[in-house]
Amino acid sequence: MIGDYQKRCQQRVDNCLGTLFSPPRPQLDRLYQAMRYSVMNGGKRVRPLLVYAACEALEGDVALADGAACAVELIHAYSLVHDDLPAMDDDDLRRGQPTTHKAFDEACAILAGDGLQSFAFEALARDPLNPTDPSLRLDMLASLARAAGPAGMVGGQAIDLGSVGLKLDRNALELMHRHKTGALIEVSVRLGALASGRADEQKLAALQQYAQAVGLAFQVQDDILDVESDTATLGKHQGADIARDKPTYPSLLGMDSAKTYALELRDLALEAVAPFGPSAEPLRQLACFIVERRS
Amino acid sequence: MIGDYQKRCQQRVDNCLGTLFSPPRPQLDRLYQAMRYSVMNGGKRVRPLLVYAACEALEGDVALADGAACAVELIHAYSLVHDDLPAMDDDDLRRGQPTTHKAFDEACAILAGDGLQSFAFEALARDPLNPTDPSLRLDMLASLARAAGPAGMVGGQAIDLGSVGLKLDRNALELMHRHKTGALIEVSVRLGALASGRADEQKLAALQQYAQAVGLAFQVQDDILDVESDTATLGKHQGADIARDKPTYPSLLGMDSAKTYALELRDLALEAVAPFGPSAEPLRQLACFIVERRS
């Protein structure tokens, strides 16, 4: 059932995203192609789904959340393009396809990533696809900028790169993930809630608690899949984290404890949204899906 | 006299920028150091100056333009960090100092650039340093996102990289510069005008005409200096464009015609702001300074 919801969200955000990549002049064809290639790749769209599901949880109109859904996916896509670069994680495969710097070239991949980040902020700043209240949108823009920046996602990648080969303890690993993937997942939920026009401090706090648990669960499960899944299912090289001597939850806690921890985090997420009614059903199903997925 | 004005603008924006780089936790020290290194480097701050001067031309309070001044400089700084990378222009010297990827490392430079772009949008989205009217700020954010992105600055770098070794004609060269440097210079003037709270369509159009002429003049003079100045004065390698077989105005028009063209552009800029009163004096002086500078 989350599969149907996911498919609907995926189609919805892909329809919006697909309109962004028409080059304004032929000299920019290649750059726009690289941007399109980096985004329109059959991605799972977990972050847009969180935007829409949070908006619906507060009984908002999802059409008001389209801008936010595009924005978080554009930030996510740009971060993957840059993280895959030779100077960073040096990955040649992403979602079963050559990474952007392999399909195009390194310079083009750097620029495509840079352009996607600008696009993300433009998606929230421009009129259509967003709530009309400009103060609300300024709040959304400030939240996204903070979550995407050095105090959030970019900082997480820096911490991650600084951790290779180090013996991280559980707190240090969690700090890295809270920045690297958690910040963008949290802000996805926040943006969806804000876009609904029906958020208050109490609801935002409950949703933040949900998002923190789900974000961490997502990462724990990713680490588990890196060990247990195979390259074909993952669409990226299985065992890549281990090969790089990166700290992971299974390596730190052992596989059984890592799996228990993922389930605990799912329960924390469900608890956080317990006060919400049936409108929060997609958020609940997503929390379950995240720890059950195989890729 | 523009020297004094430039110094005041430089100090004003440097005071604002200097507050941005306090790492929220020690694990992020190196990333924030790299960001600070990339920005607090004694840069000329031409774009912030344009922000302030445009705000003053419309008799606005420059304190309302601080956010915009920071934002355009942060975008400019990030673009230099990424343009200098080995996969792009592969420069090891910038403003007389090692480039960011030389002083730190490549991964850190990519992330510092990414973080600076997020910071730029945050500087406009957060409350202090900006006009209070949220609609106005949304307009400013959308304008900056567009100018910085693939239809603007990022697109310009893509066109530039695609042009090395090609025989560009004057139109093609101008198209490249209009994107690569022109878009950010134009939006600097626009943001300053908007920040004043006193802009109307007619004034914005006149200021845009000014900015287009000044932006191109800046580039023509840069090309001239690349031939005529020396590495110590420039703070980057003299003759770098020629060595890379990049098209330039002197190589295309001849040196004398390039100099005449720079002066024509200055006159166009002065003409555009002729209807403004004495408040536009800094804009006028800047147009003159740009074609007279030696570095």
Tens digits of residue pLDDT in A83-142: 999 999 999 998 889 999 999 999 999 999 999 999 999 999 988 889 989 999 999 999
- Among the residue ranges A179-183, A266-270, B124-128, B230-234, the one predicted with the least confidence is B230-234
A110 and B162: CB-CB below 8 Å? no
Amino acid at B175: L
Using the predicted structure, report yes or no on whether residue A236 has a pLDDT greater than 80: no
Residue A246's pLDDT band (cuts 50, 70, 90): confident
Q: Which residue of B has its CA nearest to A136?
A: B134
Q: What integer best gives the mean pLDDT of chain A?
A: 93
Please check the confidence at residue B232 and state whether its pLDDT lies above 60. no
**What digits encode the pLDDT tens for the residues B64-122?**
999 999 999 999 999 999 999 999 999 999 888 999 999 999 999 999 999 999 999 99
Confidence of residue B239 (pLDDT cuts 50, 70, 90): low
Q: Do A111 and B30 touch (CB under 8 A)?
A: no
In this prediction, residues A230-239 reach a mean pLDDT of 60
pLDDT for the residue numbered A234: 56
* Of B118 and A42, more confident: B118
Give the residue from A38, A101, A105, A122 with the most B CB atoms within 10 Å of its CB, the best one to mutate.
A122
Chain B closest CA to A106's CA: distance in Å?
6
**Residue closest to B192 by CA, chosen among B13, B3, B66:** B66
| Tokens 């390194």 sit on residue | A106
Q: CA nearest B172 in A: which residue? A: A27
Residue A75: CA count within 13 A, CB half-sphere = 35
**Mean pLDDT of chain B, nearest integer:** 93
Distance in Å, alpha carbon of A237 to nearest chain B alpha carbon: 21
pLDDT, average across residues A3-28: 96
Residues of chain A contacting B138 with CB distance shorter than 8 Å: 125, 134, 137-138, 141
Report the percent of chain A where pLDDT is more than 90. 81
Give me the torsion for CA of B29, B31, B37, B38, rounded to 10°.
Answer: -160
Which member of A79, A114, A150 has the closest CB to residue B154? A114
User: Which residues are CB-neighbours of A3 under 8 A, at least 6 positions away?
Assistant: none
Residues in chain A closer than 8 A to B162 (CB atoms): 27, 30
pLDDT beyond 70 at A1? no
pLDDT greater than 80 at residue B31:
yes
Contacts of A117 in chain B (CB under 8 A): 114, 117-118
Query: Complex ipTM, two decimals?
Result: 0.94
pLDDT interval class at B216 (50, 70, 90): very high
| Per-residue pLDDT, A243 | 60
Nearest by CB: B138 against A27, A134, A155: A134
pLDDT tens, B241-259?
656 667 789 989 999 999 9
pLDDT score of B49 more than 70: yes
Q: What is the pLDDT of residue A25?
A: 94
* d(CA B279, nearest CA chain A) in Å: 31
- The residue extents of the domains of chain B are 2-292
Best of A21, A114, A146 to disrupt the B interface by mutation (most B CBs within 10 Å)?
Answer: A114
Q: How many CB pairs under 8 A join A and B?
A: 159
Residue A97 is given by DSSP the state E
Q: Quick check: A295 pLDDT over 90?
A: no
Q: What percent of chain A has pLDDT over 70?
A: 94
Tell me the nearest-neighbour CA distance from A135 into chain B, angstroms. Answer: 6
Q: What is the pLDDT of residue A97?
A: 93
User: Does domain B2-292 sit in CATH 1.10.600.10?
Assistant: yes
Cα gap B224→A259, rounded to integer Å:
64
Q: Please tell me the distance from the alpha carbon of residue B244 to that of residue B277, in angstroms, as a whole number.
A: 44
pLDDT single digits (tens) A162-173 = 887 778 889 999
Instruction: Check residue B237 and give its pLDDT.
Output: 63
Give yes or no for residue B234 having a pLDDT over 60: no
* Burial class of residue A26 in the structure, from the number of CB atoms within 10 Å of its CB (0-12 exposed, 13-18 middle, 19+ buried): exposed
Closest CA to B142 of A29, A18, A151, A134: A134
Averaged pLDDT, B120-148 = 94
Q: What is the least distance, in Å, from the CA of A122 to any CA of chain B?
A: 5
Nearest chain B residue (CA) to A140: B125
With CA atoms as reference, the chain A residue closest to B109 would be: A87
Q: Where does the pLDDT of residue A221 fall: very low under 50, low under 70, confident under 90, or very high at 90 and above?
A: very high
Of A32, A110, A135, the CB nearest to B134: A135
Cβ atoms A17, A51 nearer than 8 A: no
Q: Answer positive or negative: Cα dihedral of B69, B71, B74, B79.
A: negative
- Pick from B25, B141, B168, B194 the residue to mutate for testing the A interface (most A CBs within 10 Å): B141
Query: Across chain A, which distance is largest between two alpha carbons, in Å?
Result: 55
| Cross-chain residue pair A114–B111, CB shorter than 8 Å | no
Nearest to A154 among B27, B105, B118 (CB): B118
Contact check, Cβ <8 Å, B137/A138: yes
- Which of A27, A36, A76, A161 to probe the B interface (max B CBs under 10 A)? A27
Q: CA-based angle A28:A141:A266, to the nearest 5?
A: 105
